[in-house]
């Protein structure tokens, strides 16, 4: 389970802290964008972790199906199993991700410990009971990651709404944004 620690130092702790979104109207446009971008990066990392968990669930379920119906080994079908996961219609509130995961190589406590559990790397060697337990554990963790991801998406949406409102009211302009980007590029 992904826990949020009040006053914690991790990005998810900051992004989901109640004060992170209070007083948006008092923040500068630059501050709004910085916080929105930080929240968007957290969403990207949670989405990546969620995809890892989906892939593991699909692998374990494929092994369960193979055992009940016979057929090719998981190793022989791995590319198909994983591509089916990637091509399946999105579930939930998927969004186009323009960012790359920032912590793809790191382990994120229990969820990534589950994904990286070396006891589970050879699903063909696991007992039927262990496969059932494993799917349950992965699904439970995926549910936790998805819930946190939805919370982070709500934060991103708040920042995007405030930014859009400023453009609609005329208190922010595209010309100012372009000038700021040119100045940043020139430095």
What are the pLDDT digits (tens) for 30-73?
Answer: 899 999 999 999 999 999 889 888 988 999 999 999 999 988 88
pLDDT tens digits along 19-40: 999 999 999 998 999 999 999 9
Closest CA to 43 of 166, 180, 160: 160
Residues 142 and 53 sit within 8 Å (Cβ to Cβ): yes
Taking the C-alpha atoms of residue 106 and residue 90, their distance in angstroms, rounded to an integer, is 25
Taking the C-alpha atoms of residue 26 and residue 162, their distance in angstroms, rounded to an integer, is 11
CA 43 from centre of chain? 5
What pTM did the predictor assign?
0.78
């Amino acid at each position: 389970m992904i826990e949020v620690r009040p006053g914690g130092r991790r990005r998810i702790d900051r992004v989901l802290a109640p004060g992170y979104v209070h007083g948006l109207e008092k923040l500068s446009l630059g501050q709004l964008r910085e916080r929105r971008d930080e929240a968007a990066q957290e969403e990207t990392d949670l989405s990546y972790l969620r995809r890892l968990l989906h892939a593991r669930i699909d692998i374990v379920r494929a092994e369960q199906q193979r055992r009940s119906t016979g057929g090719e080994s998981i190793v022989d079908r791995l590319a198909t199993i994983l591509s089916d996961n990637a091509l399946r219609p999105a579930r939930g509130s998927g969004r186009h991700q323009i960012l790359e995961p920032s912590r793809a190589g790191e382990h994120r406590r229990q969820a990534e410990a589950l994904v990286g559990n070396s006891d589970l790397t050879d699903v063909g060697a696991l007992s039927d009971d262990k496969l059932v337990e494993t799917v349950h554990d992965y699904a439970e963790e995926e549910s936790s990651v998805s819930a946190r991801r939805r919370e982070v998406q709500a934060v991103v949406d708040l920042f995007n709404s405030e930014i859009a409102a400023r453009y609609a009211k005329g208190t922010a302009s595209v010309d100012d944004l372009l000038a700021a980007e040119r100045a940043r590029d020139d430095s």
